[in-house]
Amino acid sequence: MLTQSTTLAKDGQPYQLITLRNANHVVVTLMDWGATLLSAQIPMQDGSVREALLGCATPEQYPEQAAFLGASIGRYANRIANSRFQLDGKTVTVLPSQGEHQLHGGPEGFDKRRWAIASQTATEVVFTLTSADGDQGYPGELKATATYRLTEDNRISIEYRATVDKACPVNLTNHVYFNLDGAQTDVRHHTLQLLADEYLPVDESGIPHDGLKAVANTSFDFRQPKTVAQDFLSDDDQKKVNGYDHAFLLQAQGDASLPVANVWSQDKKLQMAVYTSAPAIQFYAGNFLEGTLSRTAQPYAAWQGLALESEFLPDSPNHPEWPQPDCVLRPGEEYISLTEYQFIAL
């Protein structure tokens, strides 16, 4: 179902809202601005319905918040150190958006654009976006699609595709936040399993500094389920960024048929399983969410939502030595990244 908001975006046109429904009465709402996930309402075993995603009260509030709630991120998700990288022997300088560094594609990234609705059914919507040569400093024209599907086994499936006419690093993700309690509660009481053997330490700006590190015998070992709170802020790597905000290199190595993470609500009545073809996931515990507009009169506080962003490792254009596929997309190739979030009422 497609509806229009009564308010206008900065391009003078109304926000377009899309509702997907499956036979299990799961209802997912999206918006064309930023190809954004707004809501996922999950029927529970007791007959109630639980909202699993963080979000704002109205569409026009999304451009007012800086947490990237539910938005599609590009051209390059996460950080590029000093807003520059080497590509085929030349230095490429992109626009900074977090101090001297670039975060999530620049000051006018893909989250701040209207994506076109190419097609829509009851359970699927396809968005498209064209990014011009030089956009935010990146070389070449990029054409992207974002396909959202709601499956009959209660998965939100997100597939990003892209092509370019000049070589360019590409790293698309969705910055959705989850709170499986269905309320503005502290997600550090959620239980998390993250099937990764290595994580990437970062400095206070979120920039990698020492290469990959084994999770074994550290607070970053989520290979067996544990609460986020169990080892929270227990070491210097976390303290630098107020908690967990780190990339993990996944055991699945791009096999989207294998689970890479599981999350359980505090009451253990809702589980979410995560699958992705991306090599890494950025686990962000919502360390700086305070003041972010919510669906209620009370803004979100820190640690009231967690993100599991599927992507290349941060600053990958400057680290070709890392054990993952090349993040540079070239003409004639197609970037494809598939991520699925499956909800299981217990």
| Active centre residues (catalytic) | 175, 309
Q: How far apart are CA 312 and CA 292, in angstroms?
A: 26
Pairwise CA distance, residues 228 & 285, whole Å? 8
Round to whole Å and give the CA distance between 16 and 35: 10
Q: Please tell me the distance from the alpha carbon of residue 80 to that of residue 67, in angstroms, as a whole number.
A: 18
- Helix segments in 74-164, DSSP class H: none
Q: Which of 315, 309, 246, 280 is closest to 94 using CA atoms?
A: 315
DSSP string, 50-92: EE-B---SSGGGGGG-SS-TT-EE-SB-SEEGGGEEEETTEEE
Check whether 11 is labelled as a binding-site residue.
Answer: no
Q: What are phi and psi of 4, to 5 degrees?
A: -110, 145
Give the separation between CA 103 and CA 206, rounded to whole angstroms: 10
Q: Which of 216, 213, 219 is nearest to 188 (CA)?
A: 219
Whole-angstrom CA distances from 130 to 102, 104, 116, 166, 302 are 20, 17, 9, 14, 34
In contact, 34 and 71? CB cutoff 8 Å? yes
CB neighbours of 121 closer than 8 A, spacing ≥ 6? Answer: none
Handedness of CA 278, 129, 320, 313 (dihedral sign): negative
Residues 227, 188 contacting (CB under 8 angstroms): yes
Q: Is 79 annotated as a binding residue?
A: yes
Nearest-angstrom CA–CA distance, 69 and 4:
20
Tell me whether residue 175 is annotated as binding.
yes
Residue 188 labeled ligand binder = no
Closest among 255, 241, 345 to 283, alpha carbons compared: 241
Are 89 and 82 spatial neighbours (Cβ–Cβ below 8 Å)? no
Task: Provide the annotated binding site for beta-D-galactose.
Answer: 78-79, 175-177, 245
Task: Provide the annotated binding site.
Answer: 78-79, 175-177, 245
